[in-house]
């Protein structure tokens, strides 16, 4: 018989006989059906159910149905073993040194700015959320619903110098959900239609939960819990979760504004502001109007690419600002890098059609090397996180360009032409104020290229 601490066992046994000791004082995550605990045995965690209808046999049946789901390439934990009766649950693997996303969204008492910076600041939060949105987008593209998106079910690197993401609590993965089956989720992240039993879990309920988590992580405010809700009776919170109360940044209704946390303006781009309005205004009661996970990923990556690091404090902020939002220090020198796509004219020697993608604009900060990933440089990249080139500006007249990929790049002057080849591993130096471009493809094939702009260029938000 397992020892028990409170309502939870202190140790459990797998069906193969392996005994695991749990760390019960700080659960990784919890929801309506149970909790997830770390163990004292390396990179294992355990989910234990406490729902009345949860049995070892039912857990085994549910997990067996998920064995054939296509999860390749998704940063999601894998089930290693089932727990032996009478405990209902399973063992999962975790990446090393991970903590719940809630560590970056639920501030403790004290200096809010110092806590925000200690977690990696704005840029790291944007990157972590973008990676989470990418994972959800991949699942959704494969017809899989995650069902329980919350800051307790998304793990992130504990070290602020890293930005890895892992989804846990995989037993609710499914390809469809019926209103006949109770929806699952973690309050207060559950979509209103699921709470109302008008829908089961869907990709639309997933993106509602993600939008709540994203807004909370960036602003430290729950988007539905403003002063009207927090200072009122419990019924106000219930109404907010059901979609009956305006969200805190509603475009035309200020009844539920929030006087705590950060306002959206300093930590959101215009594109993110638009997505949150779509999610929490029309999308609050019309699920199909909500932005999809892929759209969230694109907007979050774009926002992260537009940040700079303050030279005076630990924070990052959007380059459109003249001064650091946190300490007031002037914005450091930057070069704006436009990302364009060229489509050659068949059988024509003239330059092809060039389209500038303003959503992919990059910012090169002095003395902070910038890795250009395949996500930016290649359409439909097989490995979006692969670094293909590195740009390093000395703050003066020189930009060092290094080829970090496996394909030859081209440095093209203002006059055009095929340009000069930059082979893998090679480097070159260019003038910061000159009009030149770096091309990720052959001259007569469709490809993207970067144009390094003078510092006087407008700082787009």
Per-residue pLDDT of the chain (461 residues; tens, 9 = 90+): 344 444 778 889 999 998 999 988 878 877 667 888 889 887 889 999 887 777 777 788 878 877 788 999 999 998 889 998 888 899 998 888 899 999 999 999 889 999 999 999 999 999 999 999 999 999 999 999 999 999 999 999 999 999 999 999 888 888 865 544 667 888 899 999 999 989 889 999 999 999 999 999 999 999 999 999 999 999 999 999 999 999 999 999 999 999 988 888 899 999 999 999 999 999 999 999 999 999 999 999 999 999 999 999 989 999 999 899 999 999 999 999 999 998 887 666 566 788 888 889 999 999 999 999 999 999 888 899 999 999 999 999 999 999 999 999 999 987 777 789 999 999 999 988 888 899 999 888 899 999 987 554 445 45
Residue 176: the pLDDT is: 63
| pLDDT at residue 458, as a whole number | 45
CB atoms under 10 Å from CB of 287, counted, come to: 19
* CA atoms of 182 and 351, how far apart (whole Å): 59
Query: What pLDDT is recorded for position 449?
Result: 94
Strand spans (E) along 79-128: 79-82, 89-93, 98-100
The tokens describing 136, both together, are 């959800």
Q: b/e for 411-430, b at 16 or more Cβ within 10 A?
A: bbeeeeeebeebeeeeeeeb
Task: Report d(CA 438, CA 342) in Å as an integer.
Answer: 12
H/E element, 60: helix 56-64
Residue written as tokens 């604009």? 361
Closest CA to 211 of 122, 289, 129, 302: 129
Indicate the length of the chain as a whole number.
Answer: 461
Query: How does pLDDT run across 215-266, given as a tens digit for each residue?
Result: 999 999 999 999 999 999 999 999 999 999 999 999 999 999 999 888 888 9
Q: At what angle do helices 293-305 and 203-219 cross, to 10 degrees?
A: 20
What pLDDT is attached to residue 457? 42
Residues of the chain with CATH 3.30.200: 4-93
At 456 the pLDDT is 46
> Domain 98-305 is of which CATH architecture?
Orthogonal Bundle (1.10)
The predicted model scores a pTM of: 0.92
Q: Where do we find the tokens 């406490």?
A: 50
CA distance 9 to 1: 9
Map residue 278 onto helix, strand or coil.
helix
For residue 387, count other CB atoms closer than 10 A to its CB: 15
The number of CA neighbours under 13 Å toward the Cβ of 276 is: 27
Residue ranges matching CATH 1.10.510.10 in the chain = 98-305
Assess whether the previous peptide bond of 188 is cis (omega < 30° from 0).
yes
CA distances from 276 to 28, 30, 225, 291, 296 (A): 27, 26, 15, 8, 10
pLDDT for residue 26: 79
> CA–CA separation, 219 vs 268, rounded Å?
9
Q: What's phi and psi for 245, nearest 5 deg?
A: -125, 135
Contact residues for 232 (Cβ-Cβ < 8 A; gap 6+): none
Q: Using N-to-C axis directions, what is the helix angle for 270-280 and 293-305, rounded to 10°?
A: 150
Q: What residues are paired with 4 via a beta bridge?
A: 9
Residues of each domain in the chain carrying CATH 2.60.200.20: 333-452
Check residue 385 and report its DSSP letter.
T
Per-residue pLDDT at 177: 58
Q: Which fold has domain 333-452?
A: Tumour Suppressor Smad4 (2.60.200)
β-sheet bridge partners, residue 14: 83
Please list, residue by residue across 66-90, b when 16 or more beta carbons sit within 10 angstroms of its beta carbon and e when fewer do: beebebeebbbbebebbbbeebbbb
Compute the distance between CA of residue 331 and CA of residue 325 in angstroms, rounded to an integer: 10
Distance of CA 6 to the CA centre of its chain: 35
Are 82 and 15 in contact by the 8 Å Cβ rule? The answer is yes
Q: Phi-psi region for residue 386, left (φ > 0), alpha (ψ -120 to 50) or beta?
A: beta
Which of 324, 361, 10, 299 has its CA nearest to residue 137?
299
User: CATH says 4-93 is which class?
Assistant: alpha beta
CA–CA dist 208, 199 (Å, integer): 13
Is the separation of the CB atoms in 208 and 287 below 8 Å?
yes
């Amino acid at each position: 018989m397992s020892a028990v601490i409170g309502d939870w066992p202190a140790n459990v046994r797998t069906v193969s006989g392996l005994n695991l000791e749990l760390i019960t004082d700080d659960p990784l995550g919890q929801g309506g059906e149970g909790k997830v605990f770390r163990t004292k045995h390396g990179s294992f965690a355990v989910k234990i159910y406490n729902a009345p209808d949860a049995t070892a046999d039912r857990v085994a049946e549910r997990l067996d149905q998920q064995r054939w789901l296509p999860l390749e390439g998704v940063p999601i934990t894998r089930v290693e073993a089932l727990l032996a009766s009478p405990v209902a649950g399973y063992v999962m693997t975790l990446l090393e040194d991970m903590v719940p996303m809630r560590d970056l969204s639920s501030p403790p008492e004290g200096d809010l700015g110092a806590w925000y910076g200690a977690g990696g600041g704005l840029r790291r939060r944007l990157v972590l959320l973008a990676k989470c949105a990418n994972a959800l987008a991949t699942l959704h593209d494969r017809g899989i619903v995650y069902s329980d998106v919350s800051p307790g079910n998304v793990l992130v690197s504990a070290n602020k110098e890293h930005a890895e993401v892992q989804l846990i609590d995989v037993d609710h993965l499914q390809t469809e959900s019926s209103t006949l089956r109770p929806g699952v989720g973690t309050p207060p992240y559950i979509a209103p239609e699921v709470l109302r039993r008008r829908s089961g879990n869907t990709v639309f309920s997933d993106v509602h939960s993600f939008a709540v988590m994203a807004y909370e992580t960036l602003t430290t405010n729950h988007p539905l819990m403003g002063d009207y809700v927090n200072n009122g009776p419990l019924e106000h919170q219930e109404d907010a979760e059901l979609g009956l109360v305006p969200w805190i940044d509603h475009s035309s209704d200020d009844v539920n504004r929030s006087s705590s946390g950060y306002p959206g303006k300093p930590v959101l781009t215009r594109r993110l502001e638009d997505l949150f309005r779509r999610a929490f205004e029309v999308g609050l009661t019309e699920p199909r109007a909500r932005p999809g996970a892929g759209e969230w990923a694109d907007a979050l990556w774009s926002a992260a690419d537009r940040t700079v690091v303050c030279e005076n404090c630990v924070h990052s902020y959007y380059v459109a600002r003249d001064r650091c939002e946190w300490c007031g220090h002037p914005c450091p020198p930057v070069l704006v890098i436009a990302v364009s796509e060229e489509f050659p004219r068949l059988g024509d020697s003239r330059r092809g059609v060039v389209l500038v993608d303003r959503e992919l604009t990059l910012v090169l900060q002095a003395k902070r090397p910038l890795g250009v990933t395949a996500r930016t440089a290649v359409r439909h990249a097989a490995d979006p996180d692969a670094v293909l080139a590195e740009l390093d500006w000395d703050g003066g007249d020189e930009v060092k360009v290094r080829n970090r990929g496996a394909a030859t790049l081209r440095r093209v002057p203002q006059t055009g032409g095929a340009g000069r080849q930059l082979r893998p591993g090679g480097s070159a130096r260019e003038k910061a104020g000159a009009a030149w471009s770096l091309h990720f493809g052959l001259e007569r094939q469709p490809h993207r290229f970067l144009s390094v702009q003078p510092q006087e260029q407008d700082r787009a938000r």
